[in-house]
Structure 1
Amino acid sequence: MKSIIIVTASTGAGHNQAANSLKERFEERGIYVHIVDMFKATSKGINALISDGYKILATKLPKAYGAFYKSSDRKVINKTIFKNAFLATELRLKWIFNEFQPDLIISTHPFGAPIIGKLKEKGKINIPFVQIVTDFKAHYAYIHEQVDAYIAASNFTADSLTQKGIAPQKVHVYGIPAREAFTQKNYRKFSKDRPFQLLIMGGSMGLIAIEEAVAVLLTFEKKLKLVVVCGNNRDLYDKLQRRYAEQIDSGRLEVLGFVDTVHELMDKSDLIISKPGGLTTTEAIHKSIPMIIPFAIPGQEQENTNFLVENEMAIEVQDMTELHDHIELLIDDVERYQKMVENMTRLAKLYSVDAIIDLCSSLIDSE
């Protein structure tokens, strides 16, 4: 039986979700998959430093995170950072690869490229290596000449890789892997005969931002239905339940905790309000549901936002009080709304997990 190791890390949920989506689809084809969270596998201390450090920087010190992201997006600085910074993780992955002897390695995290690439460069492993770019613009962390194939989220992503020196034949626009439930198409057409339904993915946006968004949207005079998914943010869930009991009872507002039916909620909704993480954005593109982005972390999320806005798939909102005007514009201008839907549908046609699996199988067979 063919076997694959997928390397990920818990800096945001998207990398792990992409890894799990790939594992599920590979195993349907009879290919064994072992997922390794590289920093958890290294040590508790390293994992806390990287995962918790990312969370603190991204949520508490976003400007500092953005400055680091921008300054490290240069070849010389990036190579300096990765020269010895993750030696313990490199040694741990080397042991895991030698122990499991996989036929192929996939990374869904940018740090996989320099760490695994270095192992290949040193001749410590000789295994085909595929890197998934989980954002819409490739940071220099993704760049390593030892990567055999890149999976990109768009032609824009592909261009950002080739501009950094990656050979075009190595780059494949097959999309960020999403669960199969999101790839099932649903024809989307807005109707003024029913309430305009907004899906608010609130768990990662924070309590204050969501409270403000809900307060603004409940003043909307036109027919509007709000569905807020709080995820594991229990404080947000409890506060909304208490504060808006009347609106919940009337059916105008629905507040949910953690759910595994986001794909169904997207099908039922007309618009999603969310942060622009790579995977959430990919899921929205699959479902052709236009986005409103009220908050993006400086760095990859802001670059994702720029891509979505420039390609008319999303609207960026700088101030929550602007939500009212933007939503009213989309309700009144059906042609603009449908154009956003069509732009997302067109991009989604490029996405294929089956194509990723076929590419990986061909790399294994060519060895």
Structure 2
Amino acid sequence: MQNKCEILILTADFGSGHKSVSKAIKNYITDVDSSITIQIVDMYKIIRPKLYKYIYKFFKMLIKYALPIYNFDYYKKNNNDNFGKLHSCFRSSSKRLARYLEDVQPSIIISTFPTCSAYVAKYKKDNNEDIPLITCITDIVKGSEWINYECDMYFVATDSVRDSIIKRGINKDSVITTGIPIRRQFFESKNNVRLKKQYGIDNNDFVILMMGGGLGLIPKEVSFYKWIASNKRIKLYIITGKNKKLYDKISKYDSYDNINILKYTDKVADIMSVSDLLITKPGGITLFETISSSLPFIIYKPVLGQELENCKYVKEKGLGYVVNTEEELVDKISIIMDDENLKNKMIENIDVQKKNIDMKSLAENIITIYSRN
């Protein structure tokens, strides 16, 4: 017997972003009504209880050793409504999910991963169920992978994604632009004077924050770090998170006076608040954390299909640069440092997109659907 809940959030562990979005959604709902019982569940633990760990390991190996295959599959799924709907092939998985849902009996299901939406949509169709399904799209993508006609509401990152989904035949009233859900720390006001003192930052410092995500995509060449070390105006913070291999590989650069290497920290919002520039991979969550912080950024070596799609948004809106070599990276850092007008224009463009972030609307729409059931 599973614990019953009123709102079930289904997610998956293909990168940390989907779970991060799930936690943010839960927090925004409980801010409105703390009495609602909410569970966040990894769907693969339900449908593949003996294999889910191997599925996630295979995903990491695919990204590391067979990236072209991953991207081929990604674009096939997003350009063809029928390709890759694997949920219809795994009857045993569908049956496990059905048993779980009948046991838990949620009033609403929220999905933060496309396969979760597909399985729930199939469950609704096969069992003639009318349980509301809400899908939160966690990247700035316009493809088929996320679209299911049994879904009752979509939360999307931008108006362009909204328009794309509506063109596919989804009711316009069911698609709401909220931005990608991020932690509430990124919306809290900060005391930057105190934070700069805490981190040893002077007013004339140009502060760069660098994060490489789970793949650890940050510059590896010694020459880059020597260039940083030689430019005393720069103060560089590198967050390696839980990537021990990355930390071990670059920890030697911590000996430079203006380079600071951090492992996992829950103070990312604080560091962003006092930074002048972010160097990062283009995950949807990171992009919206950066936008909420009004922080110019450079995307370094995007590789995954969804990241390449996110980059199109960055270029189109003039939010930052996309570079693929360390030489380009050094060049763009120098340009932003030396051109205050350019930096301010980037911030203006970011602030326009910041207006799309509406966590209040997200929570209120969920509560409205919940109250009807």
Q: TM-score, normalised on structure 1? A: 0.90
Cα-to-partner distance string for 1:81-106 (whole Å, 9 max, x where unaligned): 33523433322222222112111110
In structure 2, the CA distance between the partners of 1:161 and 1:76, relative to structure 1 (3 Å rule), is closer
Are the aligned partners of 2:278 and 2:297 in contact in 1 as well (CA < 8 Å)? yes
Residue in structure 1 matched with residue 196 of structure 2 by the alignment? none
Q: Deviation at 1:186?
A: 5.8
1:230 to 231, 234, 240: 240
Residue in structure 2 matched with residue 9 of structure 1 by the alignment? 12
Residue in structure 2 matched with residue 259 of structure 1 by the alignment? 265
Are the aligned partners of 2:8 and 2:110 in contact in 1 as well (CA < 8 Å)? yes
Cα-to-partner distance string for 1:235-279 (whole Å, 9 max, x where unaligned): 2223322x22530xx2x0000001111111101111111111111
Q: Name which of structure 1's ranges 177-186 and 96-105 shifts more when overlaid on structure 2.
A: 177-186
CA distance in 2 between counterparts of 1:272 and 1:314 reads 9
2:132 to 128, 141, 151: 128
Residue in structure 2 matched with residue 276 of structure 1 by the alignment? 282
In structure 2, the CA distance between the partners of 1:85 and 1:342, relative to structure 1 (3 Å rule), is farther
2:352 to 338, 341, 346: 346
Are the aligned partners of 1:217 and 1:323 in contact in 2 as well (CA < 8 Å)? no
Give me the CA root mean square deviation. Answer: 2.5
CA distance in 1 between counterparts of 2:187 and 2:43 reads 28
2:292 partner amino acid? H
In structure 2, the CA distance between the partners of 1:352 and 1:213, relative to structure 1 (3 Å rule), is farther
- 3-state secondary structure, aligned to 1:72: helix
CA distance in 2 between counterparts of 1:332 and 1:309 reads 21
In structure 2, the CA distance between the partners of 1:349 and 1:76, relative to structure 1 (3 Å rule), is closer
2:121 to 113, 117, 122: 117
Cα-to-partner distance string for 1:26-80 (whole Å, 9 max, x where unaligned): 22322210111000222344313432232222232222211111122233433x6
- 3-state secondary structure, aligned to 1:236: helix
Gaps of 5+ in 1: none
Does 1:288 find its partner at 2:294?
yes
Are the aligned partners of 1:288 and 1:344 in contact in 2 as well (CA < 8 Å)? yes
CA distance in 1 between counterparts of 2:76 and 2:112 reads 22
1:360 to 359, 363, 366: 366
Gaps of 5+ in 2: 193-200
Residue in structure 2 matched with residue 47 of structure 1 by the alignment? 52
Are the aligned partners of 2:7 and 2:107 in contact in 1 as well (CA < 8 Å)? yes
CA distance in 2 between counterparts of 1:85 and 1:277 reads 29
2:85 partner amino acid? I
State, as a whole percentage, how many aligned pairs show the same letter: 29
1:194 partner amino acid? N
1:265 partner amino acid? I
1:98 to 98, 102, 105: 102
Does 1:240 find its partner at 2:244?
no
Q: Deviation at 1:339?
A: 1.6
Q: For 1:172-183, what aligned pairs fall within 5 Å after superposition?
A: 172-183=176-187
- 3-state secondary structure, aligned to 2:138: coil
Q: Name which of structure 1's ranges 301-310 and 327-336 shifts more when overlaid on structure 2.
A: 327-336
CA distance in 1 between counterparts of 2:72 and 2:116 reads 22
Residue in structure 2 matched with residue 303 of structure 1 by the alignment? 309
Does 1:59 find its partner at 2:59?
no
- 3-state secondary structure, aligned to 1:144: coil
- 3-state secondary structure, aligned to 1:102: coil
Are the aligned partners of 1:285 and 1:348 in contact in 2 as well (CA < 8 Å)? yes
2:26 to 16, 23, 47: 23
Q: TM-score, normalised on structure 2? A: 0.89
Does 1:145 find its partner at 2:149?
yes
Q: Deviation at 1:212?
A: 5.7
CA distance in 2 between counterparts of 1:24 and 1:213 reads 43
Kindly tell me the number of residue pairs found equivalent between the two proteins. Answer: 360
1:257 partner amino acid? K
Q: Name which of structure 1's ranges 340-349 and 216-225 shifts more when overlaid on structure 2.
A: 216-225
Are the aligned partners of 1:11 and 1:50 in contact in 2 as well (CA < 8 Å)? no
Are the aligned partners of 1:58 and 1:297 in contact in 2 as well (CA < 8 Å)? no
In structure 2, the CA distance between the partners of 1:2 and 1:343, relative to structure 1 (3 Å rule), is farther
Q: Deviation at 1:219?
A: 5.6
